[in-house]
Amino acid sequence: MDFSLTEEQQLIQQAARDFAQNDLFPEVIERDEEQRFPKEEVRKMGELGFLGMMVDPKYGGSGLDTLSYVLVMEELSKVDASSSVIVSVNNSLVCWGLETYGTEEQKEKYLTKLSTGEIIGAFCLSEPEAGSDATSQKTTALDKGDHYVINGTKNWITNGSSAEVYLVIAQTDKDKRHKGINALIVEKGAEGFEIGPKENKLGIRGSDTHSLIFNDVKVPKENRIGEDGFGFKFAMKTLAGGRIGIAAQALGIAAGAYELALKYSKERKAFGTEISNHQAIAFKLADMHTQIEAARHLVYKAAWDKDNGNNYDLSGAMAKLYASQVAMETTVEAVQIHGGNGFVKDYHVERLMRDAKITQIYEGTSEIQKIVISRSILKG
C-alpha cells in the first residue's frame, strides 16, 4: 500500500492550488452574490487542461488519471465550488460519457472541443417528476427513422445556459421502460430547444442552473450514444464516476472551511488568549481534521478503484455519502469557530456552508447513496 502522490500528481495539485488562489479567489464573493458565471475563469481552466483531464490526448485531453482529477477538484473546491461543479460536470459526465461510449465521429466532432474547454457540456437527466426516480422519464425521443424528435422538460441542469452541447436522456419506447431510454447529443440553437430561466440558489450560485424545454427538437440518429435503449445504463454508468468528482468537491469544501477556521482560531483572541487555546475550539478542530482525513481516504480509494479497473459503484457511493456529510458538518463548525464573523460574507465560511449542502443532493441524494451501498453489501 502506497499513500504517496506521484511527482506528476503533486505538480497538478499545486497548479490547481495556485489557480484557485490567484484566479478564483479574488472575485469569488462577488460572483456568488451576483450569481455570475465564471466565464473567464472557465476559459483559463480549459487552457490549464482542467476540463478534459482524463481524456486521451488524441482528443485534446490531458490524459491524466482519476486521482489527478480528484486532486484538482479538491483544490478548486476549497475556494470556489461554483467553478468546480463546472469542471466536474464537463469531466465526469460529459467527456467521460462521450469518450467511453461515443462513436469515433462523435468524439471527433464534440469531445475534441469539450476536452480543451473551447466549449462546455451539460448532462440532462433530471425532470420535474424524475429526480431520484430517474426511470420515470417523461421527456420523449420518438424514433422517426433517420432522426429522433424530442419533447419534454429537463430541470436543474448545470451549465444550462453556458453549454454548447447537451447530453439528453429521453424515453423512446415506453413499453420497454428503462430499456427503452436513449441518450442523445443536442446542440445549443437546435430548433425548438429553449433554455428556461436561471434558478436562484442557496449555494454554488456562480454556476448556472436552468430548466430546458424541448418542443419537437429534431436530432439525427448519429447523435445517439450507444445502442438503441442504452440511455439509462449510460446515465447510471456515467453518474457512478461523477459521484467521485462530487465527493472530491465535498472534500475540498470541507478542507477549505477547516483551513480558514484553523487560521482564524490562532488569530482571534477571547478571554486573553487565542481561541485555539480553549479546548472546546481545539477539539472541534481535532474532529474536523480527523473526519476530513477519513473522507479523503474514501475519495482517493474510489479514484484508485476507477484507475485500477475495479468496480467503483460501492466505493464511489461511500465516498460521496461520507464526504458530503463531512462537508456539511465541517462548514457549520467553521462558521461557529468564526463567531459573528462567520455569519458575514467577507470571511468565506458562510458561503462554503451554503455550497456544502448541494453535495448531499445532486448526482444522487444521500438517501440514494445509502440504497446503492446497502444493495451492494447485501448482495455480496
Ligand X SMILES: Cc1cc2nc3c(=O)[nH]c(=O)nc-3n(C[C@H](O)[C@H](O)[C@H](O)COP(=O)(O)OP(=O)(O)OC[C@H]3O[C@@H](n4cnc5c(N)ncnc54)[C@H](O)[C@@H]3O)c2cc1C
Report the residue number, 244 or 337, with the smaller CB distance to ligand X: 244
Alpha carbon 31 to its chain centroid, in Å, reads 18
Binding mask 107-126 for ligand X (x = CB under 6 A): ----------------xxxx
Binding mask 209-238 for ligand X (x = CB under 6 A): x-----------------------------
CB of 195 to ligand X, least distance (A): 13
CB of 207 to ligand X, least distance (A): 7
CB of 12 to ligand X, least distance (A): 25
**Catalytic residue annotation:** 363
Q: How many residues does the chain have?
A: 380
CA 56, CA 54: separation in Å to the nearest integer? 7
Alpha carbon 100 to its chain centroid, in Å, reads 18
Residue 361 in grid coordinates: 443532493
Q: Which segment (50-58, 154-162, 178-186, 226-234) binds ligand X by CB under 6 A?
A: 154-162
E strand intervals along the chain: 121-124, 140-143, 147-158, 165-171, 181-187, 193-198, 209-220, 269-270, 273-274
Positions in 41-80 near ligand X (CB under 6 A): none
Query: 9: helix, coil or strand?
Result: helix
Alpha carbon 55 to its chain centroid, in Å, reads 17
CB of 158 to ligand X, least distance (A): 3
Q: Which segment (15-23, 144-152, 314-322, 354-362) binds ligand X by CB under 6 A?
A: 354-362
**Binding-site size, ligand X (CB under 6 A):** 20
Residue 262 in grid coordinates: 484553523
- Pair 203, 361: CB distance under 8 Å: no
Q: What phi, psi does 185 have (nearest 5°)?
A: -90, 120
- Strands 165-171 and 121-124, bridge-based pairing: parallel
Q: State which of residues 333, 362, 369, 372 lies at the interface with ligand X (CB under 6 A).
A: 362
> Applying CB under 6 A, does 347 fall inside the site for ligand X?
no
Of the CA atoms within 13 Å of residue 333, those in its CB half-sphere come to 27
Residue 83 in grid coordinates: 467553478
Q: State which of residues 131, 196, 226, 229 lies at the interface with ligand X (CB under 6 A).
A: 131
- Pair 320, 363: CB distance under 8 Å: yes
> Applying CB under 6 A, does 37 fall inside the site for ligand X?
no
Handedness of CA 212, 216, 218, 219 (dihedral sign): positive
CB of 358 to ligand X, least distance (A): 5
CA 83, CA 26: separation in Å to the nearest integer? 13
Report the residue number, 336 or 365, with the smaller CB distance to ligand X: 365
CB of 292 to ligand X, least distance (A): 23
Positions in 186-205 near ligand X (CB under 6 A): 201, 204
Q: Which segment (63-71, 310-318, 329-337, 356-364) binds ligand X by CB under 6 A?
A: 356-364
Report the residue number, 88 or 223, with the smaller CB distance to ligand X: 88
Q: Which segment (2-10, 95-103, 152-160, 335-343) binds ligand X by CB under 6 A?
A: 152-160
> Applying CB under 6 A, does 96 fall inside the site for ligand X?
no
> Applying CB under 6 A, does 328 fall inside the site for ligand X?
no
> Applying CB under 6 A, does 86 fall inside the site for ligand X?
no
Provide the 8-state DSSP code for 222: G
> Applying CB under 6 A, does 166 fall inside the site for ligand X?
no
* Cell 419537437, located at residue: 216
Provide the 8-state DSSP code for 55: S
Strand partners, 158: 209
- Whose CB is nearest to ligand X? 131
Q: Is 144 exposed, middle or buried (0-12, 13-18, 19+ CB in 10 A)?
A: exposed
CB of 149 to ligand X, least distance (A): 21
Q: State which of residues 45, 89, 225, 281 lies at the interface with ligand X (CB under 6 A).
A: 89
CB of 363 to ligand X, least distance (A): 6
The contact set with ligand X (CB under 6 A) reads: 89, 123-126, 131-132, 156-158, 201, 204, 209, 358, 361-363, 365, 367-368
